[in-house]
Amino acid sequence: MQPVNIIGAGLAGSEAAWQIARAGVPVILHEMRPAVATFAHKTGDCAEMVCSNSFRSDDDVMNAVGQLHWEMRAAGGLIMATADRHRLPAGGALAVDREAFSAAVTAALRAETLIEIRAGEVADLPQDGNWIVATGPLTSDRLAGAIRAVTGTEALAFFDAIAPIVHAETIDMSVAWEQSRYDKGETEAEQKAYVNCPMTRPEYEAFIDALLAAEKTEFREGETAGYFDGCLPIEVMAERGRETLRHGPMKPVGLTNAHKPQEKPYAVVQLRRDNALGTLYNIVGFQTKMKYGAQTAVFRMIPGLERAAFARLGGIHRNSFLNSPTLLDDRMRMRQRPNLRFAGQVTGVEGYVESAAMGLLAGRMAAAQALGRDLPPPPSTTATGALVNHITGGAEAKTFQPMNVNFGLFPPLDDARGGRRGRKDRYPAYTGRAKDDFSAWLATQ
Ligand SMILES: Cc1cc2nc3c(=O)[nH]c(=O)nc-3n(C[C@H](O)[C@H](O)[C@H](O)COP(=O)(O)OP(=O)(O)OC[C@H]3O[C@@H](n4cnc5c(N)ncnc54)[C@H](O)[C@@H]3O)c2cc1C
């Protein structure tokens, strides 16, 4: 049997390879790292998580990304199974030990006899065969050039973000305290998954002044697209209004200062565990384009971080994605070159989970094709189906921008209550319907 070739062993390519091998079809997985590096990846491992260590909410009743987790688990996904094995306490979120996670994904793929991992950059788009392009937001320049030559459409650019990471032992715990917002989580470890640094009003005002005054790095030439709204640099949030951060990542709600329970903090900076050992913490939502020297000075103004040592400072970088609504059909194939499927962030989904989910789907579709069958996408009432439906046609092509999974992508329920108050009924109805429909879709294979 002819193998399926996959370009890119990231979150999407790794999941696609696993799904194809599970269907009994051979796979060649091409990965350019470590020979060709990207500015964000640090290793040669498969499925490296380049920024946050979180797969976000694991609530499969009230949250759309939690529902996507559920669907990937139901479909025997490698990424979710590995994430579950390397889970770290993070309240209601699914955070993982990133190094152990990537090493385990790599080991699982290497152990699978139907998968060959082939080192080296693929610089051209192959003319024939059954291929999946899963080269991600940092698709190599040569391959990006080859894609543009076929599509005639410029890949767009947008900005994503790296939050700074602090060595845990340098956080002053006589000032900071451990608590998840609203004490969320089943176990004590979950309820204490975050480290919180409180600010008084004068401290907050001084912090905002410093953020606004700090020296920023310029974007490189050509990096002129707008920011991705869910990932604004903190200084840009501060520029939008002095109170913006206090209503965003620094909101003080659901938290009680363990050292001064009577004193309500004016703002709170949260840090989340970044590795299994608990030696590293990232500052939640603090992506920034401040210069490194300025970052250290500004972040050390945060009470509890006066003597913080940083394992990594923040940054914001370029991402590439296709105009999928015009370029891809509902089987994720390029209309002009149907031997090429696309998967992952390069299709215009955003995030580790969404990218892996699109890898799972493209893998199953490519395997079906290799076996002489056709696999339609799951219905758009499912999280996977809602996403693929959005990128391959549901979205407005002219203004297409990367998308996270969310309930707004799901077809409305006729009898569900609208508005904020209706969410308590509506979300479980969406996820209940999604589970039924996804299970039915799986049963057809
Ligand atoms: C700086 C930055 C920060 C991010 N932060 C987050 C975050 O905090 N949370 C989140 O959910 N998402 C984040 N993302 C998005 C994240 O990259 C994606 O969610 C996810 O990694 C995408 O998965 P993917 O498989 O599509 O791409 P990737 O995981 O990047 O995998 C693509 C793979 O293809 C390889 N490759 C590229 N070109 C070639 C070629 N020509 N030949 C062979 N191999 C090639 C690359 O080396 C890479 O291994 C961030 C992205 C960037 C760039």
Q: Do domains 4-155+322-432 and 161-316 have the same CATH topology?
A: no
Alpha-helical regions (H) of 33-140 = 64-74, 78-85, 98-111
Q: Is 12 among the annotated ligand-binding positions?
A: yes
Q: For the chain, list residues with pLDDT below 70.
A: 153-162, 219-231, 275-277, 279, 317-318, 395-401, 416-421
Q: How high is the pLDDT of residue 49? A: 95
**Which residues form ligand 1's pocket by a CB distance below 6 Å?**
7-13, 30-33, 38, 40-41, 50-52, 121-122, 134-140, 143, 160, 162, 317, 319, 344-346, 351-352, 355
- Number of residues assigned to the chain: 445
| Partners of 290 in the β-ladder | 216
> 267 alpha carbon to ligand 1 midpoint, in Å?
33
Instruction: Classify domain 161-316 at the CATH class level.
Output: mainly beta
> 421 alpha carbon to ligand 1 midpoint, in Å?
37
Q: How high is the pLDDT of residue 93? A: 92
Q: How high is the pLDDT of residue 155? A: 45
For the chain, give every domain's residue range.
4-155+322-432, 161-316
Q: Is 230 among the annotated ligand-binding positions?
A: no
Q: Rounded to 5, what percent of the chain is helix, strand, coil? A: 35, 20, 45
Name the fold adopted by 4-155+322-432.
FAD/NAD(P)-binding domain (3.50.50)
CA angle, 240 then 243 then 244, to 5°: 50
Read out DSSP for 292-340? HHHHHHHHTTSTT-TT--EEE--EEEEEEE--HHHHB-TTSEETTEEEE
Q: Is 11 among the annotated ligand-binding positions?
A: yes
Q: Is 9 among the annotated ligand-binding positions?
A: yes
- Nearest residue (CA) to ligand 1, atom 13: 351
Q: Which atom of ligand 1 is nearest to the CA of 354?
A: 19
Question: Which tens digits make up the pLDDT trace of 31-81?
Answer: 999 999 887 888 999 999 988 899 999 999 999 999 999 999 999 999 999
pTM, full prediction: 0.77
Round to whole Å and give the CA distance between 346 and 144.
10
> 129 alpha carbon to ligand 1 midpoint, in Å?
24
Residue of 50, 132, 349 to mutate, ligand 1, most atoms within 8 A of C-beta: 50
- Nearest residue (CA) to ligand 1, atom 11: 351
The per-residue b/e assignment along 75-111, b for 16 or more CB within 10 angstroms, e otherwise, is bebbbbebbeebbbbbbbbbbbbbbebbbbbbebbee
Q: Is 13 among the annotated ligand-binding positions?
A: yes
Q: Is 29 among the annotated ligand-binding positions?
A: no
Residue of 352, 360, 387, 405 to mutate, ligand 1, most atoms within 8 A of C-beta: 352
